[in-house]
Amino acid sequence: MEHRTIAIDDYDYPLPDERIAKFPLAERSASKLLVYTNGEIAESRFGRLDEALPAGSLLVFNNTKVIRARIIMHKPSGARIEVFCLEPHAPADYERAFAVKGGCVWNCIVGNLKKWKEGPLEVRFEYGGREELLLARMVENGGREHLIRFEWAADMTFGQLLEHLGRIPIPPYLNRESEEIDNTRYQTVYSKFEGSVAAPTAGLHFTPELIGRMRGEGFGFEEVTLHVGAGTFLPVKESDAARHPMHTEHFEITLRTLERLRERLGRIVAVGTTSVRTLESLAALGWRLRRGEPVAEAAVGQWELYDIPAGYAGADALDDLIGYMRERGLERLKAATQIMITPLNYRFRIVKYIVTNFHQPKSTLLLLVSAYVGDDWRRIYDYALQHDFRFLSYGDSSLLMVDRNN
């Protein structure tokens, strides 16, 4: 494998704290929209997204739902310790993990860990008119992340337990505690499947009215599910970003969605970087099939897509996956990805255009934007800074359109 190097300092820019949107606007679709079309920059409102997109575009949402992943617990002595649930370990399947009763094991980050030397953590709460107890025990201390076993006697699933006790894990750069407004506004209006610890924020601007109007105008909408991990918040600490390890994220796509993607290939608009990562990972799964390898046993590797021959196109990948699923009578495909999309000659095979917010300096998300628009990312971000755009999760949006062959 060739040696890859990315100087992360080349992807830095000054972001004053006052430009970070700390709270959402009163109206979701009132946010500003920067429209980048083959080098040209224009300004609009998100509620007019349909006017900027080519007719017949197919928008792809990530329908994951943010879970109330932060649980404030205590030692019997009274010390306050926060447990941040990252992903299920036993059972490992997301659906089963939220439906389980009585006990489960999760991979977690523990705040104030030094105070937790031994014994269980607990939180007492009322449910159904009775006092109940949730216990947390350390199963394995893994350095930054730990395996934690939760135990409870209340007649409720773990999903209900999190809904009852947990707090929404808003991004750390907001520098505030989560509030009531975050419970609804840090979710997309189309969120369905629990599992994320960060919202697919490009979708926060959509309203049911905007989606309905666009459907009436002939735009298509499909959904994938990628559960966003805490790794999305992790800054790139290596001076060479190619050494930054990407976390594994689990995703799911249906046969019907694959068929729709194939029908409208060349008109696919990924809503958010999570949708981009999901859609682009499909090319790796298709290439595995073409080579006679197991399709989804292992996560798509960080650099796997860079090693696929240029002649293997998005149409080939979708055809291979659709044929595979039809042959086996599969309605949905579950897989995982560690894909890192960077300016190192990345070739987009599925995604045509991208809707995305403005990202942190020196982040893997900014690398993805640069992979798509090239060095123009600086022009785009300079324009946004000079024209009062709001940045990051609750900030304004951009529509990036570069015409290239998929």
DSSP readout, 53-95?
SPTT-EEEEE-EEE---EEEEE-TT--EEEEEEEEEEES-SHH
**Cβ atoms of residues 370 and 176 within 8 Å:** no
Q: Which residues contact 297 (CB under 8 A, 6 or more apart)?
A: none
Kindly tell me if the per-residue pLDDT of 265 is higher than 70.
yes
Cis status of the peptide bond prior to 120, with omega within 30 of 0: no
Please give the Cα distance from 372 to 355 (Å, whole number).
12
Quote the tokens at residue 84: 């941040």
User: 103 vs 175, which has greater pLDDT?
Assistant: 103
pLDDT tens track for 285-323: 999 999 999 999 999 999 999 999 999 999 999 999 999
Q: Which of 297, 235, 248 is nearest to 11 (CA)?
A: 235
Residue 1: pLDDT band with limits 50, 70, 90: very low
Residue-wise pLDDT for 90-136, tens only, equals 999 999 999 999 999 999 999 888 889 889 999 999 999 999 999 99
Cβ count near 239 (within 10 Å): 12
Q: Given the structure tokens 């008109």, which residue do they identify?
A: 267
* Beta strand ranges found along 95-246 (DSSP E): 103-110, 121-127, 130-142, 145-152, 193-196, 220-226
Question: Rg of the Cα trace of the chain?
Answer: 21
Place of tokens 């407004």: 181
Reduced to 3 states, what is the DSSP secondary structure of residue 363? coil
Bridging pattern class, strands 268-271 and 353-357: parallel
How far from the centroid of its chain's Cα atoms is residue 384's Cα? Answer: 23
pLDDT at 233: 64
Amino acid symbol at 68: R
CA 372/CA 350 separation, integer angstroms: 12
pLDDT tier at 183, thresholds 50, 70, 90: very high
**pLDDT of 35-59, one tens digit each?**
999 999 999 999 999 999 999 999 9
Rounded to the nearest 10 degrees, the angle between the axes of helix 314-328 and helix 273-290 is 70
- Express each pLDDT in 127-166 by its tens digit: 999 999 999 999 988 878 899 999 999 999 999 999 999 9
pLDDT-based confidence at residue 2 (cuts at 50, 70, 90): low
CA distance 203 to 235: 22
3-class SS of residue 356: strand
What's the confidence (pLDDT) of residue 78?
87
pLDDT score recorded for residue 230: 78
CA dihedral defined by 37, 39, 41, 47, rounded to 10 degrees?
A: 20
% of the chain at pLDDT higher than 70: 99
Q: Which two tokens stand for residue 343?
A: 């300016």
Burial class (CB in 10 A: 0-12, 13-18, 19+), 402: middle
pTM of the model: 0.94
Every domain of the chain and the residues it spans: 8-66+183-401, 70-166
Instruction: Give domain 8-66+183-401's CATH architecture.
Output: 3-Layer(aba) Sandwich (3.40)
SS3 106: strand
